[in-house]
Structure 1
Amino acid sequence: MITSAFFYGTGRRKTSVARVRLMAGEGEVVVNGRTLEDHFGNAVNLGEILMPFRVTGTEGRFNAMVKVEGGGYQGQAGAIRHGIARALLQSDPEAARVPLRQSGYLTRDPRMKERKKFGLKRARKAPQYTKR
């Protein structure tokens, strides 16, 4: 384990970007100056955000300070999870890489909103067709 005061990770999901800073602590997660529960409320499954800690067995060992911007609740939650996973990888590369990789938390989800095409109402919805 590298002995450093902070570990940094940047996570992205859809249009959200999360900058995560991990430090030794009791497992508190602060998002944009608010607790995880205050920031998200019931909009997302908070357990899913903290899964990288569970997978690597580091629950309660790190505090996380997160700055997240862009997107909605789901995108922000995914970006935070991605950032936490990258920061944990920085803290202990040998032990954390395999479980994080197997769980898929190090992979950036490439799915983005499909663009609207001209002549259509949305990305794929065409105007109603009239035969006569």
Structure 2
Amino acid sequence: MGDVLIGIVATAVTAPLLAWYIVYIITVKVTKKKKYSIRLATDLSTLFFILSVHFICVELFQRSYLWIIFILMLIIAVAFTVLHWKTKEDISIRKVMKGAWRFNFLVFSTGYVLLLLIGLAHRIATV
């Protein structure tokens, strides 16, 4: 059972788009709500995109940039807090965290695609 779980997590980190799609399909089948399913799939797969970006960076550059990833996530959280405070004048932690987390999805899914293309170009250039 442990090997199966490890395989599932490894696949989700390696192919986070697949993880997003699987969560989306399961949630749509269970709830019949497409908007809710997209949001839940986004929220759950954000962690997989973050881990994928980290591992692709390690593979491409032979260095861990995890500290930069954490700093970037912190900057995004601070920016969302300030923006929320400026517009609403009252900070709702739940809304700020949800907004920052979903923005992290956009940042890291874009980073994943860009790093995937860079890795592909690098691999083609070395062959």
Instruction: Output the TM-score relative to the length of structure 2.
Output: 0.26
Q: Which has the higher contact order (CA 8 A, sep 6+)?
A: 1
In our comparison, the structure showing a higher alpha carbon Rg is 1
The structure with the largest helix share of the pair is 2
Q: Structure 1 or 2: larger strand share?
A: 1
